[in-house]
Amino acid sequence: MTGLSTLFRKELLRFWKVSLQTVAAPVLSSLLYLLIFSHAMTAHIKVFGSVPYTAFLIPGLAMMSVLQNAFANTSSSLIQSKITGNLVFVLLSPLKSWELLAAYVGASVVRGLSVGLGLTLVALWFVPLEYRHPMWILVFAVLGASMLASLGVVAGIWAEKFDQMAAFQNFIIVPATFLSGVFYSVKSLPPFWMAVSHFNPFFYLVDGFRYGFFGVSDISPWTCLLAALIGNAVCGGLAWSWLHRGYKLRN
Domain ranges for the chain: 51-245
Report which secondary-structure segment, H or E, holds 34: helix 25-41
- pLDDT tens-place values along the chain, 251 residues long: 788 999 999 999 999 999 999 999 999 999 999 888 877 666 666 677 778 888 889 999 999 999 999 999 999 999 999 999 888 888 888 899 999 999 999 999 999 999 999 999 998 888 888 889 999 999 999 999 999 999 999 999 999 999 999 999 999 999 999 999 998 888 888 999 999 999 999 999 999 999 999 998 899 999 999 999 999 999 999 999 999 999 988 76
Please, are residues 77 and 106 in contact by the beta-carbon 8 Å criterion? no
How many other CB atoms are found less than 10 A from the CB of residue 173? 20
Please, are residues 142 and 45 in contact by the beta-carbon 8 Å criterion? no
Please, are residues 14 and 22 in contact by the beta-carbon 8 Å criterion? no
Radius of gyration for the alpha carbons in the chain, expressed in angstroms and rounded: 18
Q: Looking at residue 199, what DSSP letter applies?
A: T
Please, are residues 125 and 54 in contact by the beta-carbon 8 Å criterion? no
Distance of CA 108 to the CA centre of its chain: 9
Please, are residues 122 and 27 in contact by the beta-carbon 8 Å criterion? yes
pTM above 0.85, yes or no: yes
| Helix, strand or coil, per DSSP, at residue 92 | coil
Give the C-alpha separation, 146 to 149, whole Å.
Answer: 5
